[in-house]
Amino acid sequence: MATTGKSKTKETSPSKTVKVYKGWCKRCGICVAFCPRQALETDKDGYPSLKDPRGCDGCGWCELMCPDFAIVVEDAKS
């Protein structure tokens, strides 16, 4: 199979944002572990946060995997 030399990763503008409800979050790290783009990290207190908004493609895995419904993927406000 021949390759074209083009990258399959796309550069996206920040169209999604991740909201964390800290009162519900138990800081288990499941959302960070399941992010396929490694767009999430834990902050100094152990809560998930978005490393780079351009890294999130809005797939929603973090939201689906959270056992406490503490993380939500939303459209970014323009």
**What is the average per-residue pLDDT within 50-57?**
88
Confidence at 75, pLDDT banded by 50, 70, 90: confident
Render pLDDT for 10-20 as a digit per residue (tens, 0 to 9): 444 567 889 99
Assigned domain for 30 exists: yes
How far apart CA 14 and CA 12 sit, in angstroms, is 6
Tell me the whole-structure pTM to 2 decimals. Answer: 0.76
Q: Is residue 10 part of a domain?
A: no
In a domain, 21, yes or no: no
Instruction: State how many domains the chain has.
Output: 1
Residue 9 domain-assigned (yes or no): no
**Residue 1 belongs to some domain of the structure:** no
**At 70, is the secondary structure helix, strand, or coil?**
coil
Q: Is the pLDDT of residue 43 over 50?
A: yes
The more confidently predicted of residues 4 and 24 is 24
Tell me the residue ranges of DSSP E strands in the chain. 16-20, 40-42, 48-50, 71-75
Which residue segment(s) compose the domain that 39 sits in?
Answer: 26-75
- The whole-number pLDDT of residue 7 equals 37
